[in-house]
Amino acid sequence: MANGKSFVSAFSLIISVITLILVLYLIFMPSGKANNRHYEIEKKLAGELSDNNLYGAAIAQYEKILNDPDVDIETRANINYLIGKIYFNDLFDYEQAASHYVVARSLNPEGSFYDEAGKNLIASLEKMGRMVDAKRELNKAVDIDSIYAAHKGDTTVAKIGEEPIFLSELDEAIQKLPTEAQKQYVSTEGKREFLKQYVGRELMYRAAVREGYENDPDIIKEKKDLEKQLMVQKYIMNKVMPDVNIDTSDVRNYYLANKSGKYGDKSYDDVKSKVLYDYQQEKAQQAFSDYVGKLAAVEKVQIFDENVK
């Protein structure tokens, strides 16, 4: 009976010890969520250090996370990307930047940073003078088959690496030029000359994109202004201009009303084209003003002329 009690006591002791070990494990070994919270704190601190131009300290902070053997692959990939950004954007150490971008992309090919890291990797290789490696990465980044599929039946007039430029692209670019400028590139020789210019511009554009010029504040502002201008023009064409009706008899009345003032008493036939142009301009301006007036009433616009000095 004593042996039975001793066995029970020993068994209870073992259970108690195991329970204690489990409790201590749960206390001192944080869960995945807790680890993630820890990583977020470390990342935030590193970001603040970087924002204050303390780049070495920021990298050291990021490396603390990488030194944790339990860090998950996605976090490890993201941290390598963030370190690469500091080396690329702030320290201009392109070898270190390239190595961290390669690691980040290898660890997580599905990461949201993948394309950005690839672009900066190519730029880093170019700045290091490793043009062959940069070209290889460029070719890997382009889905050549899908490009040819989208231009089935089109004629290839040039290639940048393995990426083709098609005749239809060239023709479209020429058609966007002012009418007089287009005349220079109608002939075969003219098109060949324009193709050289087109390729040169494309090369410069790609180099600028790889170096992050799309994030330049001046470019962002200009892009926003241009976008606003294009949208307004499109809106006017769709919403305002359909209400502009040209009445032939009204054009003649417009001429008679302005014969002396605008047209110097010249005959209608002599100034007919100008009369029509002026009439259309005035009608369009009136339609524009009316439409703006309606929008202003809806949006309750207030104009403070006295403050404009």
Residue ranges covered by each domain of the chain: 32-141, 154-215, 220-307
- Single out the residue of 146, 177, 175 nearest to residue 162, CA to CA: 146
Topology (CATH level 3) of domain 32-141: 1.25.40
H-helix or E-strand spanning residue 158: strand 156-160
| Of 1-5, 15-19, 119-123, the least confident | 1-5
Q: Residue 84's closest CA among 72, 63, 99, 62?
A: 99
Residue the block writes with tokens 């290091």: 128
Q: What is the mean pLDDT of residues 36-58?
A: 81
Residue 219 or residue 37, greater confidence: 219
* The predicted structure's pLDDT at residue 242: 86
* pTM of the predicted structure, to 2 decimals: 0.51
pLDDT tens digits along 192-241? 999 999 999 999 988 887 777 877 889 889 989 999 999 999 998 898 88
Q: Is the pLDDT of residue 36 over 80?
A: no
